[in-house]
Amino acid sequence: MNEAQTVTEQPTSAPADFEAFVAARSTALWRSAYLLTGDPHRAEDLLQTALVKAWRRWDRIERREAVESYVRAALVSTYTDWWRRKWNGEIPTDDLPDTPAAPASPEVRRDVLAALALLPRGQRAVVVLRFFDDLTEAQTAAALGISVGTVKSQTSRALATLRTSPLFETEGDQP
């Protein structure tokens, strides 16, 4: 078996109707991919990925008039998967916009790690992304694949837990 067969899971002689479909609809499908990604190169990658998904299932798609719908659904689902997995907020610049913060003392690092250890995983992830990585609520939601409302509620619960933690009692808090 050659390498092309293992990658595509189809015989090397492509069905003529698949080739005709790609020739006829690839421009319109690329345009949709471009509108999703906003980048011509990512659009090409997205379209190719969706077409590979269609190619692998070509013999199982019974209604040929549904092929374009299948490919468009593959475009959107693949784009959504990529968007959930990647953080796209990075903007390259010539000069760094921030100066690094002074390193925290070992005691502060220990206390921060101890406080974070008090939180469940979801709350901990939200706190780290929101306050240490300085992401917005929307960016945090996208990075974690959750809603903005979930980010807000997890943040609220985490801060309430941290406020009542014995780690943060000060001498002025004593009655």
6-50 pLDDT, tens digit per residue, is 444 444 445 778 888 888 888 988 888 888 888 889 889 999 999
Evaluate whether 43 touches 30 at the Cβ level (below 8 Å): yes
pLDDT at 1: 42
Examine the pLDDT at 169 and tell me if it is beyond 70. no
Examine the pLDDT at 171 and tell me if it is beyond 60. no
Give domain limits for the chain.
Answer: 3-85, 106-167
Give 21-68 as a DSSP string. Answer: HHHHHHHHHHHHHHHHHS-HHHHHHHHHHHHHHHHHTGGG---GGGHH
Same fold, 3-85 and 106-167: no
CATH of 106-167, one of 1.20.1250.20, 3.30.565.10, 1.10.3720.10, 1.10.10.10: 1.10.10.10
Using pLDDT thresholds of 50, 70 and 90, give the confidence band for residue 170.
low
**Residue of 101 and 57 predicted with greater confidence:** 57
Give dist(CA 142, CA 66) in Å, integer.
Answer: 31
CATH of 3-85, one of 1.10.287, 3.40.50, 1.10.1740, 1.10.10: 1.10.1740
Buried-exposed string 1-14: b where 16+ CB fall within 10 A, e elsewhere: eeeeeeeeebeeee
pLDDT tens sequence across 78-89 = 888 876 665 555
pLDDT tens sequence across 100-156 = 667 778 888 788 888 888 888 889 888 888 888 888 999 888 888 899 999 999 999
| pTM metric for this prediction | 0.42
Closest CA to 139 of 71, 61, 86: 86
